[in-house]
Chain A
């Protein structure tokens, strides 16, 4: 059993709070102590405001003392990836471009967490503007995988996954444009979920690729992820793409679905060349588990997903080149001191403020949108996107969800793919199709291979997060890969 409160799952902390066995202040203090003790080695946090954190904790304790508790997340810390706005707190997207920026308002997810009583704290490291899959593209800090500090935590939400895995915070939010919640969750051995596109409002979250971006939970248990997802989901007048569909009570729904004989699809395209045999072997054990529950395992085919990486890096960079045009050195963000006129100020501020990968993607996105190439690249990629989505929706006539790997490899050494851009992009091969199709998917730990965390991905029908959580919960109950197993910093 973990000895510090910060290492316990949120559901357990909620019970301790309910029974008067601890206070929100004690929990917050435990998180701060744990960060001070181990985050020098991990590097998950870019920073945090201890005064504000403890003030929120005291307010939660005061609510509880007067019987005005706001729900199961009241008094529970939730740390934020550094691209999610929290009023009066810094937001840098781990970029020099936004060094010194302070959010003038709360993101909708932040507001919803506050309304649920959660203690919103910390700025978690990430790849600059969420572009990358190792968190090594941060302009400020290298994050280490708590399970093996010589390895990358994955990315772009590497700080979020590492913080949860190292027991620095029970819960964290990340964002996922092409796998940025699920892959770091897999590499750090925690649960991570990308909701259906539109399930969660994007208001107040720094935009990367607006048709793909989605915020979601990272947690140590499936039940914790369900609690957090419930708190942040729902329609938002400030985001026209946020869906108005009712939000189920995901956490209370877990038990009702226990061990249902689901129809599980296994797409053979996700087990092709390039998949580490150790990862494939881990997935085989998960398939065997669902078969043992009485689930029907069906081989399915998603032929268009073979082109998902190509389509994604056209669509995502095109959208990024447009979204990041706002960083012009005028109203906020870095302004070059060398600029002499109104044209210079734009080009020089961006040259100084953006890192390598961000520049690379803006240039690529600019290229595919250039007149003469627009139809050949951008429009064609959008058509392939339609084919990919149609493939998924077709197989969902026959299966309840899909079971696949999350990442083709186990966690890579820090610096492992530094020189090979295309190899980095291909690492997202199993997560990207899900974003293109707008589907929900969850990354769930399934033990360890060669001493490193292994994980599987469940991909669901639109807005069917409840089934994914229930199926993941069934696996988790039968194994002990996540609960009470926060990694100790080595």
Chain B
């Protein structure tokens, strides 16, 4: 499905919207590709300001208050029952979620 999409040249160099859509696993329409590439360019220009910040020697923060080593006993607990999972699954049969075939037939 990706091969059929014409390769867009956005105004912003360095943005390969087809590649991004593929990585993000979203089948963007041609219209969305043009629009998002354009908007992404504008937002990335705004991000350029971060290059002016002196971050030498500054440690990156993944969290404001990191909490480490949260340990507990490995105790068995209740799981969601099959009925609850069936209710939210798009396709369900014999207590299993039905998915498209992912492995070709042998031979």
Q: Please give the residue numbers on chain A whose beta carbons come within 8 Å of chain B beta carbons, in ascending order.
A: 101-102, 104-105, 196-198, 211, 237, 240-241, 243, 304, 307, 309-311, 313-314, 321, 325, 328-335, 339-342, 344-348, 350-351, 354, 359-360, 362-364, 366-367, 370, 376-377, 379-387, 389, 421-422, 425, 436-439, 462
**What's the A-B contact tally at a CB cutoff of 8 Å?**
167
Q: Is B1 located at the chain interface by the 8 A CB criterion? A: yes
Alpha-carbon gap, A241 to B80, bound state (A): 23
CB distance from A358 to the nearest CB of B (A): 9
Q: Contact check: which of A101, A237, A334, A438 meets B64 at CB < 8 Å? A: A438
Q: Name the prevailing secondary structure of the A interface residues.
A: helix
| Interfacial chain A residues near B50, Cβ < 8 Å | 307, 310-311, 314, 377, 380-381, 384
Whether A422 pairs with B49 at a CB distance below 8 angstroms is no
Chain B residues near A436: list those with CB within 8 A: 64
Residues of the A chain whose Cβ atoms lie less than 8 Å from the Cβ of B34: none
B residues lining the A interface (CB < 8 Å): 1, 15, 17, 20-29, 32, 36, 39-40, 42-44, 46-47, 49-51, 53, 55, 58-65, 67, 70, 72, 80, 84-85, 87-91, 97, 99-102
Partner of B42, one of A330, A346, A421: A421
Choose among A351, A386, A422, A425 the residue that contacts B27 (Cβ–Cβ < 8 A): A351
Identify 23 residue pairs between A and B in the complex whose beta-carbon atoms are under 8 Å apart, listed by A's number. Answer: A196-B65, A198-B67, A211-B62, A313-B43, A330-B90, A333-B88, A333-B90, A341-B102, A347-B1, A347-B21, A347-B27, A360-B40, A363-B26, A363-B28, A366-B23, A367-B40, A379-B60, A380-B53, A384-B53, A386-B60, A386-B61, A389-B61, A425-B43
Q: Which A residues are in CB contact (< 8 Å) with B70?
A: 240
Residues on B with C-beta less than 8 A from A105 are 80, 84
B58's partner among A313, A377, A386 (CB-CB below 8 A) is A386
Assess whether A382 is in contact with B47, with CB atoms less than 8 Å apart. no
Q: Report yes or no: A243 in contact with B60, Cβ–Cβ below 8 A.
A: no
